[in-house]
Structure 1
Amino acid sequence: MNKKVLMLVTLFFLTAGNASAAKVTAVGGEKYEVKDQATKMFIYDTMQVWMHHSLVDYYHNKYQADSISWGEPKPEGIRIWIRQLGPSENDRIYTHLIKISLQRDEVIINDKKKIKTVDTFTYVVNARLLSLCPESGKSEKEFKLINSYHKVRP
């Protein structure tokens, strides 16, 4: 019962009208930047497990990091864009494209190297299944990282 309610709430927020988003033109369709703080944090919290895996994998590969630590980004350092996919895109498995940018003031690599970063990840998702955790084994085909970008800030 709780999973159904969470999925319905997720779908509501992901398909909500323009009241909580600012319209932006994007190549291939319309993209919305989520501006409403509650909606933005809900999406961020829902996707946090997948972003954590993506970040750890990226930093281990890029910096040959044995250890990585970071604090939570400030809410103003989180930006989210969302675009509903058309019926013919991505074989209809995915319903939305979600791009999340995280600005962190301190990432510590191997307990000594400190950097400021902006990490941006683009995922295609099946919004009906966002509440599933990766360990369930049911989300692998409904959630896919398609692009990532890493920038060290001064």
Structure 2
Amino acid sequence: MKKITLMLVIVFFFIVGNAYASNFIEAGKEVEVKDYAPKMFIYQSLHVWMTHDMSEYYHKKYNAKKSVGWEGPNPDKIRIWIKEIKPGSVDRTHTHTVRVSLPYEKVIIDDKKEIKAADTFIYAINANLLSLCPESGKSEKEIKLINSYHKVRP
């Protein structure tokens, strides 16, 4: 009996530990936002965070001493996908994940080096608070960078 109880306790802590190890559990199907107005609304709502995250990445990756500038992306080439986070998961602050793909025609580093690049950002967001402007005090509690990918294009 003690062995069974011990095994159940170990299994319980293993399950609970794994649940807390991940910030959220995605549910449902990831859907691409194709309509122009909602796509641009999401893009503009996340723009401040993406600009900050891109700038930080490019400064580190390319040892930018002064500046990093972007030309683009063309709004028609921006791609956005959204996926719901399972209600009742460990992270109750975020409601969705959003994946944004940004193909830049030109990234200018320190006013000298020019590259073509594509960046993808994945954020956990609280969709109920997405319409608040950045100056409203939104923070990692509502918008959290989960992952990003960078690719130099030919």
Identify which range, 34-43 or 113-122, moves more after superposition. 34-43
State the partner residue of 2:4: none
- Matched residue SS, 2:91: helix
Contiguous gaps of at least 5 residues in structure 1: 1-26
Shift in Å, 1:72: 3.0
Shift of the 90–142 alpha-carbon distance from structure 1 to 2, 3 Å rule, reads farther
TM-score by length of 1: 0.76
- What is the percentage of aligned positions where both structures have the same residue? 59
- Matched residue SS, 2:44: helix
CA distance, structure 2, for counterparts of residue 44 and residue 76 of structure 1: 12
TM-score by length of 2: 0.76
State the partner residue of 2:38: 39
Offset from partner CA, 1:12-55 (integer Å, 9 cap, x none): xxxxxxxxxxxxxxx86310001111111111111111111111
* Bigger Rg over Cα: 2
Shift in Å, 1:98: 0.2
Give runs of aligned pairs for residues 1-154 of structure 1, distance below 5 A: 29-66=28-65, 67-154=67-154
State the partner residue of 2:3: none
1:81–1:98 Cα contact (<8 Å) kept? yes
2:85–2:96 Cα contact (<8 Å) kept? yes
CA distance, structure 1, for counterparts of residue 43 and residue 143 of structure 2: 14
1:99–1:123 Cα contact (<8 Å) kept? yes
Query: What is the number of equivalent residue pairs in this alignment?
Result: 128
Shift in Å, 1:128: 1.4
RMSD: 1.7
Residue type of the partner of 2:73? Answer: P
Shift of the 40–90 alpha-carbon distance from structure 1 to 2, 3 Å rule, reads farther
2:33–2:79 Cα contact (<8 Å) kept? yes
- Matched residue SS, 2:104: strand
1:103–1:117 Cα contact (<8 Å) kept? yes
CA distance, structure 1, for counterparts of residue 90 and residue 109 of structure 2: 36
Contiguous gaps of at least 5 residues in structure 2: 1-25
CA distance, structure 1, for counterparts of residue 121 and residue 27 of structure 2: 18
Shift in Å, 1:73: 0.9
State the partner residue of 2:20: none
State the partner residue of 1:21: none
